[in-house]
């Protein structure tokens, strides 16, 4: 059972996913809300609500997935710190023989924009010519972070240097210079960005409501990564920053 945690941006999300079920049936519970800057106060409360809604105790969870950035410096750190705290708490409880002490032995960090791109990649793969997906989040002050994904990149965890950062105009220039026959822009597409994309005939900007990032997607990705033998130690999780924290 995977607990997925996404606090990278103002829209926080949680999901509980059962790997024993087929992909469509595996999602047991999910919650997405506008946390604004209240990730620290709300996250563990919402985890408890999610588990109660699913009718499951915390010790049913044996794997954790978390978005590692880019995103809000505080939000990303809250998610990663929570995962590390849950792993350590479960370890100590197991050592003491306490209830809820099942060891959390599988942990995975997934870049934020991998989660944003994932729902569109299967569809992109079936289109001819296959479009390139440009996933993005808002970075504040009229700036954006973005990353490109080909249809085969479902399990791609891009490093910091594969990401871009800039204004709507700068992203429009990057997209105009891209060699793909078609590009899908997905994620936190706001009105200024949609307007900047209007002259670019090769770019389809997906409405932000349809491109909303979800922890259910993160959980499904984690299940696929785990099936490939990809996991990491909680203490090795690190935020993916595109520039030094202020």
Question: For residue range 31-63, what is the model confidence (pLDDT) as tens digits?
Answer: 999 998 899 999 999 999 999 999 999 889 999
φ, ψ of residue 133 to 5 degrees: the values are -95, 125
H or E stretch including 194? helix 191-197
pLDDT of residue 6: 98
- List, for residues 78-98, the tens digit of each pLDDT value: 999 999 999 998 888 778 776
Query: And the tokens for 67?
Result: 């978005």
Query: And the tokens for 131?
Result: 């479009």
Do 242 and 165 form a contact (C-beta atoms < 8 A)? yes
Give residues with Cβ within 8 angstroms of 235, minimum separation 6: 84
For residues 14-30, average pLDDT: 90
H or E stretch including 205? strand 203-205
190 DSSP 8-state letter: -
Q: In what order do the strands lie in the sheet with 132-140?
A: 164-167, 143-149, 132-140, 183-187, 203-205
- As a whole number of angstroms, the distance between CA 52 and CA 47 comes to 9
pLDDT over 80 at 212, yes or no: yes
What whole-number percentage of the chain has pLDDT above 70? 96
- As a whole number of angstroms, the distance between CA 156 and CA 132 comes to 14
pTM: 0.94
pLDDT over 80 at 220, yes or no: yes
Q: Among 159, 161, 151, 157, which residue's Cα sits nearest to residue 225?
A: 157
Please provide the DSSP assignment of 137-151 as one string.
Answer: EEEETTEEEEEEE-T
pLDDT over 70 at 99, yes or no: no
- As a whole number of angstroms, the distance between CA 158 and CA 70 comes to 11
- As a whole number of angstroms, the distance between CA 243 and CA 17 comes to 33
pLDDT over 90 at 112, yes or no: yes
pLDDT of residue 94: 78
């Amino acid at each position: 059972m995977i607990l997925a945690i996404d606090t990278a941006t103002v829209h926080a999300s949680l999901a509980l996913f059962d790997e024993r079920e087929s992909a469509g049936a595996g999602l047991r519970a999910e919650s997405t809300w506008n946390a604004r800057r209240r990730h620290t106060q709300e996250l563990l409360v919402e985890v408890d609500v999610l588990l109660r809604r699913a009718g499951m105790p915390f010790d049913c969870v044996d794997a954790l997935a978390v978005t590692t950035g880019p995103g809000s410096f505080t939000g990303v750190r809250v998610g990663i710190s929570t995962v590390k705290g849950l792993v350590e708490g479960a370890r100590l409880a197991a050592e003491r023989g306490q209830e809820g002490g099942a060891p959390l032995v599988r942990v995975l960090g997934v870049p934020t924009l991998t989660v944003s791109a994932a729902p569109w990649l299967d569809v992109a793969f079936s289109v001819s010519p296959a479009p390139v997906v440009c996933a993005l989040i808002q970075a504040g002050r009229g700036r954006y972070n973005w990353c490109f994904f080909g249809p085969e990149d479902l399990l791609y965890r891009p490093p910091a240097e594969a990401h871009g950062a800039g204004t709507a105009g700068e992203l429009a220039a990057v997209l105009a210079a891209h060699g793909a026959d078609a590009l899908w822009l997905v994620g936190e597409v706001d009105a200024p960005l949609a307007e900047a994309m209007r002259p670019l005939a090769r770019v389809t900007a997906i409405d932000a409501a349809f491109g909303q990032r979800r922890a259910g997607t993160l959980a499904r990705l984690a299940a696929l990564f785990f099936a490939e033998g990809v996991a990491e130690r909680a203490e090795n999780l690190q935020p993916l920053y595109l520039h030094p924290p202020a």
